[in-house]
Structures are given as C-alpha cells and as structure tokens.
Amino acid sequence: MEGSGIGQFIPLILIFVIFYFFLIRPQQKKVKEHKAMVEGLKRGDKVITSGGITGTVERLIDNDKVEVEIADNVKVEIVKATGIQALQGNPQEVKK
C-alpha cells in the first residue's frame, strides 16, 4: 500500500522536472543575460526600447536610467531594467 502512494507522486515530480528544464531554467538564463547587457550599457550604444523605438544612448543617469536620443534633438529618459530590450548589432563589430 505504501508503495502505491509514492508511485502516485512520480508523474508530478516528472512534470516539475520537465517544467524546470524547458521553462524555468531558460527564463532565468535570459533574465541573467539581459541584466548583464543593461549593466554594460555605455554612451554611444544603439539600443531598442521595449516599445520598439531605436535610439542611441547619450548619457547614463544614476544607476537606473539612461537618456536615449531617438531623433535629432529628441532625447528621452528610459528606465534601464524595463525600458531597454536589446542592443542593436554594430556592423563594425561583426567578424567574418
């Protein structure tokens, strides 16, 4: 009788393991990479905001904001952690 009780939990444990390796772990890795990218921002980097607007980092404000120039003489302040989605690839850095 006791063996059948433990046997009922094996499918739940397997489902948790599958969720961990296919959903939780990759998401944690993505968050870690995004955090490293945001911390490494510097003046002149071309970025894409979470709203899809592209621009160039003009200056870093404190530790949590950046000023991004999105057009000539148009600058906006963006929260680093939530507003910056990705860096645009610079063609000069691509090695063939």
- Tell me the per-residue pLDDT of 26-69, one tens digit each, with 9 for 90 and over: 999 999 999 998 888 899 999 998 889 999 999 999 888 999 99
Read off the pLDDT of residues 6-33 as tens digits, 9 standing for 90 and up.
888 899 999 999 999 999 999 999 999 9
CB neighbours of residue 46 within 10 Å = 14
The model scores a pTM over 0.75: no
Question: Which residues have a Cβ under 8 Å from the Cβ of 93 and sit 6 or more positions away?
Answer: none
- Three-state DSSP at 29 gives helix
